[in-house]
Amino acid sequence: MSKGPVVILGGSGFVGRSLCEHLARAGLAAKVLTRARLHARELWMLPNTEVVNCNVYDEAALTQCLQGAAAVINLVGILNEQGDSGAGFRHAHVDLTRTVLAACRQANVRRYLHMSALNAAPEAPSHYLQTKGEAEALVAASNDLAWTIIRPSVIFGPGDGLFVRFHELLRLAPVLPLACAAARFQPVSVLDVAEAFVTALNDKTTVGQRYDLGGPRVMTLAEIVRYGLATSGRCRLILPLGAGLSRVLAEVMEHLPGKPFSRDNLRSANLDSVLPAGHDGLAALGIAKTPVEAIVPGYLGNTGSLARYDQLRRHAGR
Ligand SMILES: NC(=O)c1ccc[n+]([C@@H]2O[C@H](COP(=O)([O-])OP(=O)(O)OC[C@H]3O[C@@H](n4cnc5c(N)ncnc54)[C@H](OP(=O)(O)O)[C@@H]3O)[C@@H](O)[C@H]2O)c1
């Protein structure tokens, strides 16, 4: 890899924080572009990691930030938009990717790693997966760039939107009506996802390739929720909902603050998020899969671990 920092868009988020730690451990300099430096406060103290304010939708400003970079990693993604037209997803996934690719060319940065998602395809049933698929198509058509695309199933780790999300939801609620309870996922550790990026950065054979990432075990959503309950020693009633009631729940919840669940999420969950046969990206990259059991108890258990304090701090906005 050429000299210069690895520039990361979306580096302040759940995956980005882990990726930045991996890069720091590998001795690589990182430059995280953020819409607000405060979002990336957990990265301020990382060695060799610079956090810079940038309007990533502004091609000129972005080009400026990419000057001298060894590579660019685009992690930006949203799970929800205002309304249900797809415009918000298209803006954050497709328009932004087009701008990033153009800025890479302007700044003469050839190495580009792109975060997508399992099942992303232009003809997928949800706006999220469709626009992720359209962004992938833009990347794959960039013959002048050395690109790699990473496509994980749902990701777990401290601060995740999976085990932690249900853990928080079930803190007070004695009963959980669960939409898409039978939807199948192959949860992959954020540590393995971060390692996949670092491995790809250092391995030229990954250029022009897409890697589907999944963990060692396929779990239904109901199994995921029940595993979280068992790990945290709680007893709650889970009520799996059928298709009709799942839709009603989505319609209600997308009007709640923070849009915890939406019709678009429901459409995504209609596809199993499981590795297709012969598409094991972690195996192809030589990365051993971390099981759920190896790390979830460490951040979800009621053992008073530091991760618990991290969650509290995040909730309090500190
Ligand atoms: N988490 C999963 O289970 C999972 C599974 C498969 C794929 N993925 C993909 O992995 C990527 C990272 O996921 P994550 O869980 O780390 O997400 P995250 O925690 O929400 O972080 C995403 C980051 O993107 C930036 N961002 C958010 N909305 C944006 C917008 N509208 N315009 C520009 N930047 C925006 C934010 O950075 P600033 O606020 O600092 O600007 C944020 O820190 C996403 O592309 C996601 O689709 C995630």
Residue range 213-248, pLDDT digits in tens: 999 999 999 999 999 999 999 999 999 999 999 999
Nearest CA owner, ligand 1 atom 28: 78
Domain range summary for the chain, segments of one domain joined by +:
6-154+189-214+275-289
Q: Ligand 1 centroid vs 64 CA: distance in angstroms? A: 22
Pairing of strands 30-34, 6-9: parallel
- Of the chain, the end-to-end C-alpha distance in Å amounts to 36
H or E stretch at 128? helix 127-140
Reported as half-sphere exposure (CB side, CA atoms, 13 A), residue 102 has a value of 13
Q: Ligand 1 centroid vs 219 CA: distance in angstroms? A: 23
Residue 288 has pLDDT above 60, yes or no: yes
Q: Token match 């596809």: residue?
A: 271
Question: How large is the average pLDDT for residues 270-289?
Answer: 97
Largest CA distance in the chain: 56
Cα 155 to chain center, whole Å? 7
DSSP 303: S
Nearest CA owner, ligand 1 atom 45: 77
Residue 175 has which token pair?
């009963």
pTM of the complete model: 0.95
CA of 152, closest atom in ligand 1: 6
Within 8 A by CB and 6+ apart from 186, the residues are 118, 153, 154, 214, 215, 217, 218, 219, 273, 274, 275
Within 8 A by CB and 6+ apart from 235, the residues are 229
Rounded Cα distance between 6 and 122, Å, is: 29
Residue range 30-56, pLDDT digits in tens: 999 999 999 999 999 999 999 999 999
Residue 305 has pLDDT above 50, yes or no: no
Phi/psi of residue 152, nearest 5 degrees: -85, 155
Nearest CA owner, ligand 1 atom 7: 117
Residue 183 has which token pair?
């939807």
Assign a CATH topology to domain 6-154+189-214+275-289. Rossmann fold (3.40.50)
Residue 311 has pLDDT above 80, yes or no: no
CB 250 within 8 A of CB 229: no
